[in-house]
Structures are given as C-alpha cells and as structure tokens.
Chain A
Amino acid sequence: MKILKRVLGVVLALFVAALFLFPLLWVVLASFKTKLELLAVPPVFIFQPTLQNYINAFNSDFPMQVRNSLIIAISSTVISIILGSLTAYGFSRYTIKNSDFLQFWILSLRMLPAIAVVVPFYLVFRKLKLLDTHIALILAYCLTNTSFAVWVLKGFFDEIPLELEEAAMLDGYSPPQVFLRVALPLARSGLATTAIFCLIQSLNEFLLAVSLTTRVAETAPVGLSKVQTLMGVDWGLLSAASVIFMLPIVIFTIIVRNDLVRGMSFGRMK
C-alpha cells in the first residue's frame, strides 16, 4: 500500500514536471532544427542538429538587446534589493507612525497595472529626455521591484530574533553594522528569493519596455516580438534567441539554489 502510494506520487510528480518542461524541450529542440524540420508534421525528435539559428541570432540586433535587458534587469534588481532591504528592516525593527498603512501603500504600488502608467511614464520621461535610455526602464522597474522587495524582506527580517541583534549591539556594533553584519547575512535566503523574482520580472517585462524604448535601449522581449513580421515568423531564430535569453536566469538560479529552497519554504529556517 505504502509503496503503491509512493509510486503514484512519483508518477504524478513526473507528469506535472513533464507538462511544464515539454514547451522548454520543444524550444530547445526547435532551436537546433532547420525550417523544414520545424514545420514537419508529426514533429521530429531525432534529427541532425544545426547551429545556423544561433549564428543568425548572434548576427542580428539580438546580442545588443540581451545586453540591454541584462543591464536594466541587474541594475534595477540591485537598487531594489538595497532600497527594499533598508526599508523592510526599518519597518521590521523600528516603531513607525502609521506603519501598516505605509506598508500597504508600498505594496499597492506592486499591484498597479502597467497599462495605467504607460502614458504618464511616457510623458514624464519625455520631459526628462530619458526616453529610449537604460535609466528610464531601470527607474520604472525599481518601482514595482522595490515594493515587492520591501514586502517580502520584511517577513524575513521579522523572523530574525531581536536578541541576535541586541547581542551584537552590546558587543559594540553600531546599528548600521548590526544591519550589515547580523541582519543581512541572516536574511540571505530572503535576499536570494527576492533577487530572483525581481530579475525574472524585469527581464520579462514587455509593455513598459515596448513603450519607453525605440532602438538604443530596446530589450530582448521587445526585440523577439519584432521577429514576428508580416513575412511570417522565423521560429528557429526565435527559439535560439529564447534559449540564449533563458540562460542568465538558469545560471543565477543554480548559483543560489540552496538559499532559494530555504527562502521558498519560508519560516522553516533555523
């Protein structure tokens, strides 16, 4: 009975995993196929792989767009983590007037639909002469990422026993040192989790990116969308570009995977 239950559990898990991984597998395979193989019905799974799609991708604007995406996403993530951890720590450790209201207000920024701010943002950035620059998108993404970071990190800081910080204070560490040397290292898994989500959010964002950039600061999702033209879609090129674009997140996730698991199973850290 027990064994049966276990086997059923594993089968179910494999099924769910397959459901989510199949599109990925399809994209990876497609990126190595020729146009003909791509459109074959039924789809072929065994074929002679070609790198032509990747060569095409590298010879287009795509590398520059990936660079833009990475610059914007990493900058906005770093800024959001710095601002977010400081703010969250303040909410967690100090008595602040109307604390609950302020926290909700910050969180509500995250719920803001992007479509509602596209036009105002466009007007503001045009006035500031920041259209089609990295700075515009970095600032725009910081808005949602910082509010998200405050909200998530507050929970992690709340989990740290106050006594750990008091002990460091008695030892002669100043409040900023206590924050840097005690609180931050203990909130590591929270920082990793927040960073991943901010990165994914910033790399995937489309609406603001398409409205606030034209060419110089164009990001990868916007560039990829332009591969679909009236002349049809180059699926091979699109797949190769998608695979390249996935790599940064995959690599970062692997680097912080231990902290990530701990951060996701929130509240169990000891």
Chain B
Amino acid sequence: MARLELEQLDCWYGKTHAVDHINLVVEDGELCVLLGPSGCGKTSTLRMIAGFVRPAAGEVYLDGQSISHLYPGDRNIAMVFQSYALYPHKTVREHFVFPLIPAKISEQEIARRVNEMADFLDMHDLLDRYPGELSAGQQQRVAIGRALIRHPQLFLLDEPLNNLDERLRVEMRANLRKMQQDLQITTVYVTHDQVEAQALGDKIVVMDMGHIRQVGSPQEIYRHPNDLFVAGFIGTPPMNFIKCRLEREESQAVLRNTHFSLRMQAALAARTESLVEGKELILGVRPEHIRVASQPEEGAIPAEVYVLEPQSNELIMALKLGNLIIKARDDKREIGFRPNVGQQVWIKFLQDYVHLFDKSTEQCLT
C-alpha cells in the first residue's frame, strides 16, 4: 500500500539537464507508465526514485514520507532491470533467498516465501537451475520473483520486455498486468514502446527532453493529446501532420493548403472561432481516422495510392496528395474495394477525431 509523489524533481548529468523539475503522483495500486523516446529522462526519473541517482533538487515521497535522503536498500522498493541483473553464480532459489537475508527473516519464513513465489511464478522445477540454463522468459520471471519476494511497497520496472522476442513480449505483457493487478502493488514502468504503454498503464506519463508533456489514462492520451509531440508519439503508424492556413469563406471556416481545402463541420469550426483568419495551423489526423473510397464523394479529397502495406486484418496505405504523403489505416473488410498502387482514390477525414495544433506553440487547439 503506497502512494508515490515526486515533487520538483530535478537531475543533471554534467551539462545535460536530464530531468527538469517534474511533479507526479502515482496513486496506491496504480500502474504508471513513463513513456518517451530514449534520452527523455524516464530512466533517470526511475533511478532517482530507486535512489541510485541523487536528485539535484526536489523530493520523492512514499506514503507521505520523504525518501530522497535514504539509501536504496532502506526505501522498500524493488526493481526489475532491463538486463534482469541475475547473478550468474546463483541458482534461482538463491536469487529468491538473497533479498530476504538483509531483512533478517526467520528460515521458516524464507522457505515459505520461496515456496509461495515458486507457486506464483510456476517455477518449482527450475529452482536449482542457474540463469545460464534458463530461457529469456524464465530469466525474466526470476527477476520479477526476486524483486517481489520482499513484498516491497513500490515496484519499478525498467524496460523489462525489451530483451524478449515479439511473441513472448506480448505474452509477458499480459502476465505482468495480471500479476500487478493481483498484488495491487504500486508500480512505475518505464518504456519507449507506446503500444506497451497503452496495453499496460492505468496512467501514462509522456516525457520528452526532461519534461512531462502529458499525464493521463491511455485513452485520454490517445484521444486528447496536449501537443504535437504527444500526438506524434502515440499511435502506429503515427498521426499525419498537414500544414494548413485557416480561412473563412462565406462565414464558413476552411482549412487550406496547396493540396486541398477542407470545409470544417460545425463542431470543429466552433473551436477555431477565436482564431484570426490566415493563422498557420497543423492538422493532425490519425491514419485510422481517414476513410478511403474508390469513387468521388461530396467533400472528398483526391489522392493516389503510393504504397500498400497489408496487415492481417488491416490495410495500411501511403497516399500521395501532390508531393504530400499521408498514411491511412483501414479495416480490410470495411474498405469495400481492393486498392492498387497508382490507383486514384478519394479520402475523407473523420472530423470528430481530427486535431488542430498551433504551428508556433505546437499546442493542441481542439
């Protein structure tokens, strides 16, 4: 049971400002994902929570108590490292026992906990093996068991699925989520993989250049990104960004660029009322919010199919509008025709889902 709070946490590596005065609250039992590209400060943040890096300023609170000045071992925090950090000279059983020795726990209790953890991870047959004799997935289970056997208040994971192949990664992702929910343990999870973040997190913290760009549920982050960075980072393929100018024709708001002019529907137009005409904007449209048709329609924009990337049930299409290339993603069954490279198609943006960004501030206006 623990609530983690970061207050004005700041970190420098030489002249690099790794983490710039961030504030964050992770509620009891919550799984919070720190998401961002490499070098964004997410791992530095995690290492400050663990106590490996001394913050230049700011405090870390666990259940209201400041732990910033404590030795890592006195914080009651456990961590799974990207490399798993298993000792080549210790067996699985010894890995489970090792964290319990400094805690001065009785031998019966140690035996009971090792047994319990072996049950939990289904590792009874492997207890006397060395890490070198285990598969990558089993090694990861050992790393998790070693971390959780102390019953820590806070659980930290640093890109734990990175070293696994795609198939195992998806499987372990589900296992981790289930495990975290069963134990109701407050967790901070670092990853650069936005799909993983979406799948796992109760809360996603998007970081960039040492700043927190946005905090929210996976749905909020996806649906209402704060700025261009968050919008571009979440979703595969990423959101299409199209430079436009805001114009008004016969009292109707229109987005115009050299390739098309788009009449805005009432809901979207309402958001632009306060903006001056001629304002430079960036239109953000996710590939899944572009409808592609083989026949011209009212308000549809002509485009040419440039590249086709068929997936199992979807079709990802790169479409060419003059010299602009945008990506669309549609369900194979719903699209209604079989597009060919070079074919002329007509596209429509689902205006309920598009975003407008101020070109200069990069903030989302919708």
Complex Cα distance, B74 from A182, in Å, reads 18
Q: Per a CB cutoff under 8 Å, which of A167, A177, A182 touches B146?
A: A167
Q: How far is the CB of B152 from chain A (nearest CB, A)?
A: 9
A185 on the B face (CB < 8 A): yes
Contact with A along B65-104 (1 / 0, CB 8 A): 0000001111101110111011111000000001100110
Q: Is the CB of B52 within 8 A of A166?
A: yes
Task: Decide: B73 and A172 in contact? CB cutoff 8 A.
Answer: yes
The CA of A188 and the CA of B71, in the complex, are separated in Å by 27
Contact A171 B52 (CB under 8 A): no
**Is B132 in the interface zone, CB < 8 Å from A?**
yes
A100 interface residue (CB < 8 Å to B)? no
A63 → B minimal CB distance (Å) = 39
Whether the Cβ atoms of B87 and A182 lie closer than 8 Å is yes
Binary B-proximity of A152-175 (CB < 8 A = 1, otherwise 0): 000000000101101111111110
Considering only residues 160-217 of chain A, those with a C-beta below 8 Å from chain B are 161, 163-164, 166-174, 177, 182, 185-186, 188
Q: Which residue of B lies closest to A177 (CB)?
A: B102
User: In the complex, which of the residues A164, A185, A270 contacts B85, with contact meaning CB atoms closer than 8 Å?
Assistant: A164
The closest CB in chain A to the CB of B131 belongs to A270
The contact of A170 among B50, B86, B87, B103, by CB within 8 Å, is: B50
Query: How would you classify the secondary structure of chain A's contact residues: helix, strand, loop or mixed?
Result: helix
Give chain A nearest CB distance to B173 CB in angstroms.
22
B141 sits at the interface (CB 8 A):
no
CB-CB under 8 A from A174, the residues of chain B are 71, 73
Smallest distance from the beta carbon of B240 to chain A beta carbons, Å?
40
**Of the candidates A163, A171, A172, A186, which one forms a contact with B83 in the assembled complex, judged by CB atoms under 8 Å apart?**
A163
With A172-B102, A174-B73 in contact, is A167–B89 under 8 Å at CB? no
Across-interface contacts of A164 in B (CB, < 8 A): 85-87
Given that A170-B72, A170-B77, A174-B73 are known contacts, is A185 also in contact with B102, CB under 8 Å in the complex? Answer: no
User: Shortest beta-carbon distance, B61 to chain A, in Å?
Assistant: 18
Residues on A lying within 8 angstroms of B by beta carbon are: 161, 163-164, 166-174, 177, 182, 185-186, 188, 270
The 3 closest A-B pairs by CB, nearest first: A172-B102, A172-B73, A171-B99
Residues of B within 8 A of A (CB): 50-52, 71-75, 77-79, 81-83, 85-89, 98-99, 102-103, 132, 146, 150
